Structure 1
Amino acid sequence: MHHVSTKKGGKILDDVDGAIIGLLEHDGRLTHLDIAAAVGLSRSAAATRVHRLISSGQVVVRGVVHPAVLGRGALAHVSVAVAGPAVPIARELAGRGDVAFLSLTSGPYGVVAEIRGGSMTEIDRAIGEVRALDGVAGVDTLGYVEVVRDVIGPVGEVGVAVDDVDRRLLRALQDDGRASYVDLAAAVGLSPAGARRRVVRLVENNVVRVGAVVRHSGQDRQSALGLGIRLTGPHDAVVAALRAMPAVIFVARVLGRYDLLVTVRAFSSAQLVEIVDVVRQFDGVGAVDSWVHLDVVKENYASGLPA
């Protein structure tokens, strides 16, 4: 949960705003009444705060669709070693439709990206194209086995088939995760009750996750750190321990030079040091490598929904 006291667009964000942001990160469709009860405000006061956070542009609530539903169920983490400036390579890669995430990083690799494809054959082709770019000295790839924690997107197996009405609902949720059931119903030709049933079904079956993404800036900017972990035994206990850490926003089991790929966030370097030291002490953790995400160039999980 956020405990932010800083100034943004002339408005002071206090601990109540931080608590509301934390609730919306977990479930972007929480009602104003639910939020009010959780943070100890009246419904109208909660609604005013939510409206201010969203209208300021600092908090964006979106529906993020499972990559398998997008026809991109094969995922890979690609670290790019560069010979020369990294920024031009990052810009070129960010223009690719199969790149969902791209960051300029510290460490031996200037750029890291998540590439999504319909199969490992597509991933292989994409990596070949990356390798052929001017200024790319080498590419190191981790293949995803399983995403076990992601504060932005749904994880697990997709539990239901998706039809055309569902796809129209998903597109509407991508545009505005807090759209009312009345508006969603009008967009897809259902009753509000029918739209609600569909949305609940899609969320419960891992088709979509609706949550807040916070756009940090200035003195409240969070730092993000990538971790590559090599295990000395089974993954289960380590994964469970990582999932229990609030600072851990992403965990995937991978094949390659690491066994686990992790992203952690904090508000200071000192906090990051503490977090990494905690991870190093887990039973079953061997070597831990890390890299700082210096600049997230692209983070777009909404593209690719079939028409």
Structure 2
Amino acid sequence: MDVNLDEIDERLVRALQDDGRASYETLASVVGLARSTTKARVQRLLREGALRLVGAIHPAVFGLHQLGHVIIETDGPAGPVADEVAKIDEVSFVTTTAGRFAVTAELRAADMAAFARGLARVQAVPGVRSAQTMTYLRIWKDPYFPPGPLESPGPLADIDLDAANHALLEHLRTDGRASFADLASLTGLSPGATRVRVLRLLEAGVVHVGALVRLTPLSRTYTMGFALTFTGDAEPVARKVAGLAEIDCLATGAGWCDAIGTIRVGSLDEVLATLERLRALPGVRTVEAWTHLRAIKEENDRAVPPA
């Protein structure tokens, strides 16, 4: 279902992307509305399918440590290519775009060898002219992903995932705002003990609860992808880029570019202004951008276990 979001809806979405379990009182203070009105707005967005509140589980939980972004040029229409790419197990996200790249995708795999096999499957799809990749080294900002470096064991170094924790994660990945009482019924623990467990999983970066927004061509929001190359060390530039409010996602890595990101704003003027800020940043060598048109596969709210 295609649902238009007004300015207040967008502010609610951004707040929920930061903390999908934020109280209605907190959300009301962000948008300046009464608690009851704010709750009604959120429930309408959920009911109409404009967003889902989900737990994005760190791929390390599933043994997936190699992630990357692929940009695809096609011979002929992009739609059939995107549909076929979306069927590949290692692919977690696919969009069609306006720009030099007809299709973009994200791959998740256990290691570089498995990642390479997934990329080979993408390259073998009929209609793919070329596919270039950037393997992620660090997630700087992503409403559907716990930020941080991707090396093994990641957030699992300091936490033991027993059966109760796995049950909590499995439920949070589909209902990020589930009550502690409902979650407790899954584990046999008390609501208090369950609350401690959930907060520990959130603080450790094992899961991040946020708002998953449907990407549709009828949205009033402009979603722009961009790629950056740097003149030197990526870290100081990436910190500045991630600090911009208009930046929805940012990852750095190695490959055809140094960083991949997404701009999410309400007008073309804001798109231009954000791109100009990126071009003006010291350390940014080049900026390339494209418009995301429609999501063919959206699984940024979960990591797909290996087959």
* Structure-2-length-normalised TM-score: 0.88
- Check conservation: 1:167, 1:305, Cα contact below 8 A: no
The 3 A distance-change label for structure 1 pair 83 and 160 is same
Q: How many equivalent residue pairs? A: 298
Are positions 1:51 and 2:43 aligned together?
yes
Cα–Cα, structure 1 residues 282 and 40, in superposed 2: closer, same or farther, change >3 Å? closer
> What are the superposed Cα offsets for residues 62-120 of structure 1, whole Å, 9 maximum, x if unpaired?
11101111221201211222222221111011122321111112333321110000000
Letter paired with 1:165: A
Distance in structure 1 (CA, Å) of the matches to 2:257 and 2:265: 23
Deviates more, 1:153-162 or 1:139-148: 153-162
- Are the aligned partners of 1:216 and 1:222 in contact in 2 as well (CA < 8 Å)? no
SS in 2 for 1:263: strand
- Number of the residue aligned with 2:61: 69
Give yes or no for the alignment of 1:60 onto 2:52.
Answer: yes
- 1:206 and 2:205 are equivalent in the alignment: yes
Pair 174,257 (structure 1): closer, same or farther in 2 beyond 3 Å: same
Q: Secondary structure at the match of 2:61?
A: coil
User: Aligned runs of 1:127-138 on 2, under 5 Å?
Assistant: 127-138=119-130
Query: Contact conserved, 2:184 with 2:190, CA < 8 A, in 1?
Result: yes
What TM-score does the superposition give when structure 1 sets the normalisation length? 0.88
Contact 2:224 2:290 in 1 (8 A): yes
The question of 1:175 aligning with 2:174 is answered yes
In structure 2, C-alpha distance between the alignment counterparts of 1:14 and 1:130, rounded to whole Å:
37
Matched to 1:304, the amino acid is V
Give the 3-state SS of the residue equivalent to 1:279 in structure 2: helix
- Identify the residue that residue 237 of structure 2 maps to in structure 1: 238
Q: Per the alignment, in what secondary structure is the counterpart of residue 257 of structure 2? A: coil
Q: What is the RMSD computed on CA atoms of the aligned residues?
A: 2.4
Distance 1:291 1:15, change over 3 A: closer
Q: Distance in 2 between matches of 1:33 and 1:89?
A: 45
Quick one: distance in 1 between partners of 2:17 and 2:84?
Answer: 30
Matched, 1:148 2:140: yes
Q: Give the equivalent residue in structure 1 for 2:223.
A: 224
Partner-residue secondary structure (3-state), 1:175: coil
Residue 258 (1) aligns with residue 257 (2): yes
Compared CA separation, residues 181 and 119, structure 1 to 2 (3 A): same
CA contact (8 A) 1:228 1:289 kept: yes
Pair 1:270–1:17, CA change in 2 (3 A): closer
**Cα distance, 1:282 vs. partner?**
0.4
Q: Which residue is 1:111 aligned to?
A: 103
SS at match of 2:59: coil
Query: Which deviates the most, 226-235 or 278-287?
Result: 226-235
Deviation for aligned residue 1:280:
0.3
C-alpha separation in 2, matches of 1:205 and 1:56: 32
Fraction of identical pairs, as percent? 35
Cα 1:17–1:135 shift into 2, 3 Å: closer
Task: Provide the rounded CA distance (Å) in 1 between the counterparts of 2:251 and 2:275.
Answer: 17
Secondary structure of the residue aligned to 2:54 is strand
Following the alignment from structure 1 to structure 2, what is the Cα–Cα distance between the partners of residues 249 and 50?
20
Instruction: Indicate how the Cα distance of structure 1 residues 189 and 258 shifts in structure 2: closer, same or farther if over 3 A, else same.
Output: same
Query: Residues 198 and 33 of structure 1: is their aligned pair in 2 closer, same or farther, counting only changes over 3 Å?
Result: same
CA–CA separation in structure 2 for the residues paired with 1:183 and 1:74: 34
Contact 1:66/1:208 (<8 A) preserved: yes
Give 1:3's aligned residue.
none
Q: CA 1:238–1:48 in structure 2 vs 1: closer, same or farther (change >3 Å)?
A: same
Corresponding residue number in structure 2 for 1:163: 162
Matched with 1:287 is: 286
Output the CA distance in 2 between the equivalents of 1:183 and 1:40. Answer: 30
Aligned to 1:30, what secondary structure does the other structure show?
coil
CA, structure 1 residues 43+266, in 2 after alignment: closer, same or farther (shift >3 Å)? Answer: closer
Which whole-Å deviations, capped at 9, do the CAs of 1:252-305 have from their partners, x for residues lacking one?
Answer: 111112111121122222221111111000011111112221222111132525
1:274 has 2:273 as partner: yes
